[in-house]
A and B are shown apart, each in its own frame.
With several copies, the nearest count.
Chain A
Amino acid sequence: MSYAAKLPLSTAKIARCRSIAKKIGDDVADLVRSHSTVGIERAVLRLLGIDSAADRGGLLYPQANLVVDQLAEHGRLQEGVLYWIANAMLHTGNDLSALKQSLDDGLDIGTLPERKRTKTEKLAKQLATRAQKNLLERVAHHKKSRKGLHDPAGQARPLLYQIVATGNIYEDLIQAKSAVKDGVEIVAVIRSTAQSLLDYVPHGATTEGFGGTYATQENFRLMREALNEVGQEEKKYFRLTNYSSGLCMAEIAALGALEGLDCLLNDAMYGILFRDINPIRTLVDQHFSRLICAQSGIWIMTGEDNYMKTTDAVKSGDSVLASQFINERTAINANVPLKQMALGHAMEMNPEYDKVILMELARAQMTRQIFPESPLKYMCNTKYKTGDIFTSHTIDTVFNMIGAFTGQGTLLLGMPTEAVHTPWLQDRSLSARNATYIVRGAEGMVNELGFRSDGFISKFAQDVLDDAVKLLEKIHRIGFLKAIEKGVFADVKRPRTGGKGASGVFPIEPGRYVNPLYKMMGSRI
């Protein structure tokens, strides 16, 4: 019997996975090259600072949407918004801020006559430079505000991540400040149910949400401010997360970057499988959103954990791993450094299974070994939780231990009341105390434990890797979109033409479409 710090996983097989994922990434790149979306165009407008909203029968409808709607109406999307903003500036002689005012006053840039392309293109390029500069300045500003604070990401233990979800941003502020006081290091504000299906980003501070709070630029700002406030008191840097997957993937990335978010849940697969969003739409959106994240130091967090909720997690390890390889590749193509890729996975096996702790440990350790640089996002058990909040707390303890033992990057902490309601203040406090005890108590464990090379754990991990190789081969063989159609991921089938937001994708051509931001932000596509 021999024991080692690492599971005996074949490096050749891991390399093989990466090489297939690269090819699958090329398929996605083809889609990205040949399409843009209304979401990407709005994101560009956001980066230009077009962030006002107009009252439309009680609803605050963003200016970014109005502009894109205008262009769509007049068949002008194919050039991209930058081109038409530049055109409008040239036409009106306005500078950008004057143009913004005109837009607020009702100017329709879809109807302005087209100026000379070369001039417009040149101005468009300047605008892009300005957008990027604006972005980088904001990022630098946020970075500065956390100077001198202790960054827990440097510690030899996982970061503790919790959600707040009251629906009311002001209650959220209470809960978030309390959470970080109680030991949490990353706060995620869950969005209201179905925000991800809205094809616009709501505006302003919001107080009404179901099972979550709207992601708005103002809500981001308020929350960032609140965390900074406690951060200054505690001399510690607290990270803020929100969710960008959905119809506004790129736009939320832009807003998040401007408002100093640190992480974004960002995964087209999540939109496809769990929100029934059109695959092409969201894969294309994803690339642009990741470019923004890459630029701004935002960790992207992927959603493979969710696959384990609709399948038997003992069996779906391969699809999770395959998806992680694909996500890694699509992120690389968007210039995201490995250290910013918080690939997702979860402890979602049925707690009643024999040896379930061995199997979970195996999968967690395997993932850790295969993606050594990723601040892996490890999600607690949720599906098998019941209203028995005590047993739920037990399961979370096991989760925290496995997370600590295997050195996961981020623990998405479980709540005792997971199966009952979105967390109460006390749930969050108990959850944080649980995790703090475990990660402190188990500090250093990562360097202590060995695994039996021919044991059950090693075998389980090896099997998952073997299956992932096969699965990736199959995905590549039949094609990525086809694989999604066939239900390879999470047992959910999504046709490439179906889903929400399909009408917001449009084909683009190199000579016509103008968006220098891709190149400027380092796109490898």
Chain B
Amino acid sequence: MASIVTSNLVPYGDTTGDGAVQMSFTLPIEPSPKAQEAASLLVRGWGFSDVKVAHMSKVGIGYSFFVVFGRSEKGVNYDKVIVPELTGTKLDYKQIDREILTKIGRPIRVIGANTGFDAHTVGLDAILNMKGFDGDVGLERYKGFYTVNMGSQVQVNVLVERAIKEKADAILVSKIVTQKDIHIADMRDVVSYLKKKGLEDKFILVVGGPRITHKLALELGYDAGFTIGARPSDVAAFILKRMLERKGKKD
């Protein structure tokens, strides 16, 4: 049996190294043998071999849906994939509270909002509110955190002004809607507003949402990005870590 080649990591179907991929797409043509051939040529044109058009069916008026299987030899060099990881030892909420008490000496002040027109508060609430997420209590429950949850559809200037007023240490932004990359535009808005006001280093800036990666967040000038499955204690631990770093610098 072939062994896994990490320097050219390819998908696995049922034989190591087979490069097996499933695809589906719609073409703006009615189903026909010609359409099927076109689908096959299309996928072969993308560089796949052993292309099987497993399914073609009519969709609505003038469209066809295809399910296609193929193989690719073109892998990725896994050894060279570098991704900033949000590491840090996993702490539970009592440990974090204790550390904040002893090392920071006062509650950390955080403020969160869905900016722009985003009204999806479930994710943000999961992090901030008492109840928390998946059995992990929210920041509001911590003695070590003072939290303000501004909720949905908050304009950037309103958020920042409130952050100043509340003397926040960290701003937490939630971005769920990603249609036409609106989340990226909205994320940029926060950073450029802070820059404009000369506040870019004042707050720990954290963002979260289903299409956020830590990498993306860093690229856009945030301190951290959290995504699906993020737990309040992960976020708390990160903020604590960053607070300690900042404190270290100041000292």
Contacts and interface: CB of A to CB of B under 8 A. Distances in A.
Decide whether A and B are members of one complex: yes
A90 B53 CA distance: 65
Contact of B119 (A168, A174, A230, A275): A275
A458 interface: no
A40 to B, nearest CB: 24
Given A171-B1, A210-B177, A420-B69, A182 B152 contact: no
B61 A388 contact: no
Nearest to A383: B122
Given A171-B15, A193-B179, A210-B177, A178 B52 contact: no
Interface stretch (A94-102, A217-225, A366-374, A422-430): A422-430
Nearest to B121: A310
A429 B69 CA distance: 18
A309 interface: yes
Nearest to B125: A310
A388 B179 contact: no
A194 B117 contact: yes
A423 B117 CA distance: 20
A174 B118 CA distance: 27
B54 interface: yes
Interface string A166-178: 1110110011011
Interface string A193-221: 11001000000000100110000000000
A424 B54 CA distance: 15
Given A309-B122, A426-B25, A426-B26, A182 B117 contact: no
Most chain B beta-carbon contacts within 10 A, residue among A197, A230, A420, A425: A425
Given A210-B180, A419-B210, A424-B26, A178 B14 contact: no
Interface in B49-86: 52-55, 57, 59-61, 63, 65, 67, 69
A182 B63 CA distance: 11
A388 B55 contact: yes
Contacts of B61: 174, 177-178, 181, 230
Interface stretch (B16-24, B94-102, B237-245): B16-24
A276 B54 CA distance: 30
Nearest to B63: A425
B54 A425 contact: no
A228 B182 CA distance: 34
Interface string A443-456: 00000000000000
A274 B14 CA distance: 27
A478 to B, nearest CB: 22
Interface in B154-184: 177-180, 182
B180 A389 contact: no
Contacts of A178: 59-61, 63
Scoring A168, A390, A420 by chain B CB atoms within 10 A of each residue's CB, the highest score goes to A420
A419 B14 CA distance: 16
A182 B153 contact: no
B177 A420 contact: no
B24 A426 contact: yes
Given A168-B15, A276-B151, A425 B57 contact: no
A276 B179 contact: no
B121 to A, nearest CB: 7
Contacts of A210: 117, 177, 179-180, 182
A165 B236 CA distance: 37
A85 B227 CA distance: 55
Contacts of B14: 165-166, 171, 175, 421-425
A170 B26 CA distance: 18
Given A193-B179, A426-B25, A420 B60 contact: no
Contacts of B26: 424-426, 429
Contacts of B193: none
Interface string A393-426: 0000000000000000000000001011111111
Nearest to B52: A420
A56 B223 CA distance: 41
B22 A425 contact: no
Interface in A305-334: 309-310
Nearest to A389: B67
Contacts of B121: 310
B1 A170 contact: yes
A210 B177 CA distance: 9
B59 A425 contact: yes
Contacts of A497: none
Contacts of B152: 276
B11 to A, nearest CB: 9
A422 B60 contact: no
A387 B55 contact: yes
Contact of A386 (B13, B20, B151, B228): B228
A328 B117 CA distance: 31
A316 B89 CA distance: 36
A308 to B, nearest CB: 11
A421 B69 contact: yes
A389 B179 contact: no
A179 interface: yes
Contact of A421 (B12, B63, B122, B179): B179
A181 B26 CA distance: 16
A168 B18 CA distance: 13
Given A168-B15, A420-B52, A181 B119 contact: no
B65 A429 contact: yes
Contacts of B122: 309-310, 383
Contacts of A230: 61
Contacts of B118: 193
A177 B60 contact: yes
Q: Most chain-A Cβ atoms within 10 A of its Cβ — which of B25, B55, B151, B210?
A: B55
A390 B26 CA distance: 14
A276 B228 contact: no
B153 A197 contact: yes
21 contacts: A168-B1, A171-B16, A178-B59, A181-B61, A193-B118, A194-B119, A194-B153, A210-B182, A275-B119, A387-B55, A389-B22, A390-B24, A390-B67, A420-B69, A424-B20, A426-B24, A426-B59, A426-B65, A429-B26, A429-B57, A429-B65
Given A420-B52, A426-B24, 7 more contacts: A167-B180, A181-B61, A230-B61, A309-B122, A417-B54, A425-B59, A426-B65
Interface of A: 165-168, 170-171, 174-175, 177-179, 181-182, 193-194, 197, 207, 210-211, 230, 274-276, 309-310, 383, 386-390, 417, 419-426, 429-430
